[in-house]
């Protein structure tokens, strides 16, 4: 007890002494304050300054971490976090806009929408828990009968923060669609997207021109950010050219959902705006007949390839256009298989190639109405000018007269004295050699004026048709020849250009435009497949009006002289009896047989045979239709191309219902 008592007494003494020190210190501080002294009396020991940097560093680090986390939550991952938060309550669904339909000039349907279902996943709406996310992948994979890794790879290709739907499977079948509907509440982030595709009803004859739609590519999506990454877009033909008019505007629907994703109620809806409809100038019945007769003519000739195109010469509207062979654009619209695509690519007749727009050919004697117009307009000849066609002309080499070049007529037959009308009707090569390049004191047009007038007629340059991928063709000049071959231009080159031979290359569409120019009296029209754009209520939104590309470069008198020559082709010339006896209206025409090279010889279909051409318009006095027909590597135009055109005109003016 003494020990504890002693400890207690000491503690009391210590406490009493501390109180006394405090009282003294307080009195001293008060006295100092009253006296105005600057000497402060500290009540406690001062804090060491060496800890201040440590405290500041800790504050900065903690503040930086908090700021980074705030940035990460609100900015870097803000969209995902917002989507996740909203996804627990509100989701936005896209309402696909119906694509506009395509009709012929009688209102017959050529392209319509067809139901199509895609399985998509929105990565940002998937369960954040990896285990639950994997369960979603497994369920999707089981229904689709594909590997789980494939589902995961597609879903996470753009990262889990990606907020746009990702295509996992397209064109899923009815049973799969029903399975996803049943399991919908268990598949967070998974959706069946109603995404209509196209069905084409023309039988394939218009495939090159209607084109097709297909899934938007990554590059196309960059150029069209207003599209969904799973959308369809026009890939070729009119579907591509008039994409903006046909597409429409997608609608939106905001829906309240529960924790499982089940829809509870619609909060707001913005209806989709259907795309406008495209009305074509194509005569659907004529199109079918052109396809039928061209196929028969090509097969009869054994050539396997051909073209036929018909225009209204009064406005440039395309009435019918056929490539043979063709392909089924429905294969592409629905997603073509690699097998089918490889088959098309390996076909030696190249059915994917649009010969009407892209094929460039020598056109032979079908050039003669246009060189005739140029020679008359330039005063090189008059309607009464005559030239003695002896079946050939011999041209000595200017450097070595002992070397003589012979330019023959198409069958080396002398036609005697011919004027321009007879030269057209009998297709005198000799007449046009001289008119184009001159001979023995007769000054011809020359290459510069030839090229100038050919271009005025629309030859050797793009027509401006409402389709992409049009070839410009080729009209050689002295400069282009020298740049290409290093050789000078010879008079023989001009002779070849005067009869549609040599290196010149013209597309069937260009030839049709030039033919229409002669038929209508001298106006060059830009060709168009579309006639008007009509909204869903039937109101015309835009009328595709005739567009003039050139006029007035040939006088009416000179055009009329050429027209008479083309009428004589049918009455007594190279087209005699082929058409006159069977077509109920008067027809003006011109045959053409264009020599070709042996390039591309395949052993089965010799490419050394000439291209067979026939051009015609009718009725001759008031033209309603102008037709160009080509049968590749078939032989003479009068034998192989003319019968195709005859059958078309016969039906058009007498056989149609």
Specify the pLDDT at position 520. Answer: 98
The answer to which of 86-100, 352-366, 537-551, 606-620 has the lowest mean pLDDT is 86-100
- The answer to whether residues 211 and 236 touch, using CB atoms and an 8 Å cutoff, is yes
Domain holding 492: CATH number?
3.40.710.10
Average pLDDT over every residue of 548-553: 97
- In the three-class reduction of DSSP (H, G, I as helix; E, B as strand; rest coil), residue 173 is classed as coil
Domain-terminating residue out of 280, 295, 313: 280
Average pLDDT over every residue of 640-644: 96
The answer to which of 179-188, 213-222, 308-317, 590-599 has the lowest mean pLDDT is 590-599
User: How many CB atoms are closer than 10 A to CB 554?
Assistant: 25
Report if residue 357 sits inside a domain: no
Q: Is the pLDDT of residue 611 over 90?
A: yes
Same domain, 115 and 167: yes
Distance CA 114, CA 266 (A): 27
Q: Is the pLDDT of residue 192 over 80?
A: yes
Q: Which residues of 301-326 are buried (b: 16+ CB within 10 A; e: fewer)?
A: bebbbbbbbbbbbbbbbbbbbbbbbb
Q: Is the pLDDT of residue 597 over 80?
A: no
Distance CA 409, CA 414 (A): 8
* pLDDT band for position 37 (cuts 50, 70, 90): very low
* pLDDT band for position 61 (cuts 50, 70, 90): confident
Which among 387, 333, 432, 304 has a CA at the least distance from the CA of 115?
333
Domain-terminating residue out of 551, 580, 614: 551
* pLDDT band for position 573 (cuts 50, 70, 90): confident
| Percent of the chain whose pLDDT exceeds 90 | 66
The residue ranking higher by pLDDT, 586 or 59, is 586
Which among 166, 205, 153 has a CA at the least distance from the CA of 354?
205
Same domain, 648 and 581: yes
- In the three-class reduction of DSSP (H, G, I as helix; E, B as strand; rest coil), residue 333 is classed as helix
**What's the DSSP call for residue 441?**
T
Which among 628, 601, 604 has a CA at the least distance from the CA of 617?
628
Task: Work out whether the CA dihedral 157, 159, 161, 162 comes out positive or negative.
Answer: negative
Report if residue 569 sits inside a domain: yes
Q: Is the pLDDT of residue 592 over 70?
A: yes
- 126-174 pLDDT, tens per residue? 888 899 999 999 999 999 999 999 999 999 988 888 888 899 998 889 8
The answer to which of 378-382, 411-415, 630-634 has the lowest mean pLDDT is 411-415
Same domain, 397 and 451: yes
Q: Is the pLDDT of residue 50 over 80?
A: no
- In the three-class reduction of DSSP (H, G, I as helix; E, B as strand; rest coil), residue 95 is classed as strand
Residue range(s) defining the domain that contains residue 448: 364-532+544-551
Looking at 521-640, list the stretches that DSSP marks H as alpha helix, in order from N- to C-terminal side: 556-571, 637-640
Same domain, 108 and 246: yes
Q: How many residues does the chain have?
A: 657
Same domain, 378 and 508: yes
Same domain, 291 and 167: no
Q: Is the pLDDT of residue 124 over 70?
A: yes
Same domain, 245 and 154: yes
Report if residue 419 sits inside a domain: yes
Specify the pLDDT at position 18. Answer: 42
The answer to which of 23-32, 492-501, 639-648 has the lowest mean pLDDT is 23-32
E strand intervals along 195-343? 197-200, 213-215, 232-234, 251-257, 263-270, 277-280, 306-311, 318-324
Report if residue 342 sits inside a domain: no
Report if residue 208 sits inside a domain: yes
Same domain, 133 and 206: yes
**What's the DSSP call for residue 505?**
B
- The answer to whether residues 613 and 307 touch, using CB atoms and an 8 Å cutoff, is no
Same domain, 518 and 372: yes
Structure token pair of residue 319 = 């009435």
- 266-278 pLDDT, tens per residue? 888 889 999 999 9
Q: Return all residues near 27 (Cβ < 8 A) that are at least 6 apart.
A: none
Domain-terminating residue out of 263, 280, 297: 280
Domain holding 113: CATH number?
3.90.1310.10
The answer to which of 392-396, 477-481, 525-529 has the lowest mean pLDDT is 392-396
Average pLDDT over every residue of 290-299: 97
Pairing mode of beta strands 90-95, 251-257: antiparallel
Distance CA 377, CA 558 (A): 7
User: To 5 degrees, how large is the angle CA 203–CA 204–CA 210?
Assistant: 115
- The answer to whether residues 330 and 200 touch, using CB atoms and an 8 Å cutoff, is yes
Q: Return all residues near 301 (Cβ < 8 A) that are at least 6 apart.
A: 612, 631, 634, 635, 640
Give the bridge partners for 630, in sequence order: 307, 613
Average pLDDT over every residue of 592-597: 87
User: How many CB atoms are closer than 10 A to CB 116?
Assistant: 19
Please report, for residues 121, 158, 214, 217, the alpha-carbon distance to residue 228 in angstroms, rounded to integers and kept in the order given: 13, 15, 13, 11
User: How many CB atoms are closer than 10 A to CB 550?
Assistant: 15
Report if residue 4 sits inside a domain: no
The DSSP result for 504-530, as a single string, is -BB-HHHHHHHHHHHHHTSEEE--BSE
The answer to which of 499-503, 516-520, 577-581 has the lowest mean pLDDT is 577-581
Specify the pLDDT at position 80. Answer: 55
Q: Is the pLDDT of residue 613 over 50?
A: yes
Specify the pLDDT at position 25. Answer: 43
Report if residue 336 sits inside a domain: no
Same domain, 317 and 269: no
- 454-483 pLDDT, tens per residue? 999 999 999 999 999 899 999 999 999 999
Specify the pLDDT at position 79. Answer: 61
User: How many CB atoms are closer than 10 A to CB 164?
Assistant: 13
Distance CA 535, CA 313 (A): 28
Q: Is the pLDDT of residue 64 over 80?
A: no
Supply the mean pLDDT for the chain: 87
Q: Is the pLDDT of residue 32 over 60?
A: no
Give the bridge partners for 92, in sequence order: 254
Specify the pLDDT at position 402. Answer: 84
The residue ranking higher by pLDDT, 367 or 132, is 367
Number of structural domains the chain divides into: 3
Specify the pLDDT at position 58. Answer: 73
Long-range contacts of 134-142 (CB under 8 A, 24+ apart): 136/186, 136/187, 136/188, 136/189, 136/190, 139/183, 139/186, 139/187, 140/168, 140/187, 140/190
The residue ranking higher by pLDDT, 257 or 506, is 506
Q: Is the pTM of this model over 0.85?
A: no
Which among 424, 335, 432, 426 has a CA at the least distance from the CA of 393?
432
Query: What backbone phi and psi angles, to 5 degrees, belong to 389?
Result: -90, 105
Q: Is the pLDDT of residue 109 over 50?
A: yes
Same domain, 650 and 561: yes
Structure token pair of residue 599 = 């390039």
Q: Which residue has the tokens 């000054």?
A: 443
Domain holding 643: CATH number?
3.30.450.330
Same domain, 491 and 567: no
Report if residue 133 sits inside a domain: yes
């Amino acid at each position: 007890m003494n020990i504890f008592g002693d400890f207690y007494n000491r503690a009391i003494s210590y406490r009493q002494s501390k109180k006394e020190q405090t009282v003294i210190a307080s009195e001293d501080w008060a006295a100092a304050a009253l006296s105005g002294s600057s000497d402060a009396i500290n009540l406690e020991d001062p804090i060491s300054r060496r800890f201040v940097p440590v405290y500041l560093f800790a504050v900065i680090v903690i503040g930086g971490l908090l700021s980074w986390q705030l940035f990460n939550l609100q900015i870097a991952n803000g969209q995902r976090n917002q989507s996740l938060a909203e996804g627990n309550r509100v989701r936005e669904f896209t309402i696909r806009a119906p694509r506009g339909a395509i009709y012929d000039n009688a209102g017959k349907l050529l392209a319509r929408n067809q139901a199509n279902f895609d399985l998509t996943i929105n990565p940002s709406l998937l369960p954040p828990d990896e285990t639950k996310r994997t369960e979603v992948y497994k369920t999707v994979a089981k229904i689709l009968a594909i590997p789980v890794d494939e589902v995961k790879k597609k879903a996470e290709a753009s990262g889990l923060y990606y907020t746009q739907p990702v295509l996992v499977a397209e064109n899923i079948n009815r049973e799969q669609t029903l399975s996803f509907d049943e399991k919908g509440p268990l598949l967070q982030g998974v959706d069946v997207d109603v995404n209509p595709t196209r069905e084409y009803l023309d039988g394939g004859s218009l495939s090159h021109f209607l084109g097709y739609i297909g899934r938007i590519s990554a590059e196309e999506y960059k150029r069209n950010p207003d599209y969904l990454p799973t959308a369809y877009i026009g890939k070729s033909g009119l579907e591509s050219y008039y994409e903006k008019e046909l597409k429409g505007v997608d609608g939106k629907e905001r829906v309240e959902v529960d924790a499982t994703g089940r829809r509870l109620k619609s909060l707001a809806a913005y209806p989709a705006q259907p795309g406008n409809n495209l009305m074509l100038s194509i005569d659907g019945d004529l199109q079918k007949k052109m396809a039928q007769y061209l196929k028969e003519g090509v097969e009869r000739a054994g050539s396997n390839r051909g073209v036929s195109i018909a225009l209204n010469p009064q406005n440039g509207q395309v009435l019918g256009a056929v490539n043979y062979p063709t392909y089924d654009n429905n294969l592409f619209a629905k997603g073509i298989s690699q097998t089918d695509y490889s088959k098309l690519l390996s076909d030696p007749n190249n059915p994917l190639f649009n010969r009407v727009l892209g094929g460039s050919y020598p056109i032979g004697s079908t050039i003669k109405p246009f060189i005739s117009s140029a020679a008359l307009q330039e005063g090189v000849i008059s309607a009464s000018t005559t030239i003695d066609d002896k079946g050939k002309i011999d041209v000595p080499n200017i450097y070595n007269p002992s070397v003589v070049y012979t330019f023959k007529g198409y069958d080396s037959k002398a036609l005697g004295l011919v004027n321009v009308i007879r030269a057209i009707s009998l297709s005198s090569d000799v007449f046009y050699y001289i008119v184009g390049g001159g001979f023995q004191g007769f000054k011809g047009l020359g290459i510069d004026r030839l090229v100038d007038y050919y271009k005025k007629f629309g030859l050797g340059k793009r027509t401006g048709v409402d389709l992409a991928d049009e070839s410009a063709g080729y009209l050689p000049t002295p400069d282009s020849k020298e740049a290409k071959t290093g050789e000078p231009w010879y008079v023989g080159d001009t002779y070849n250009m005067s009869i549609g031979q040599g290196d010149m290359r013209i597309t069937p569409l260009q030839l049709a435009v030039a033919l229409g120019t002669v038929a209508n009296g001298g106006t060059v029209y830009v060709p168009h497949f579309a006639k008007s754009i009509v909204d869903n209520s039937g109101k015309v939104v835009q009328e595709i009006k005739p567009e003039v590309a050139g006029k007035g470069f040939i006088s009416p008198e000179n055009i009329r002289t050429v027209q008479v020559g083309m009428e004589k082709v049918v009455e007594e010339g190279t087209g005699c009896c082929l058409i006159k006896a069977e077509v109920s209206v008067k027809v003006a025409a011109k045959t053409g047989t264009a020599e070709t090279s042996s390039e591309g010889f395949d052993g089965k279909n010799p490419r050394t045979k000439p291209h067979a051409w026939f051009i015609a318009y009718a009725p001759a006095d008031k033209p309603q239709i102008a037709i160009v027909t080509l049968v590749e590597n078939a032989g003479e135009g009068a034998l192989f191309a003319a019968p195709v055109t005859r059958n078309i005109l016969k039906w058009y003016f007498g056989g149609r219902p």
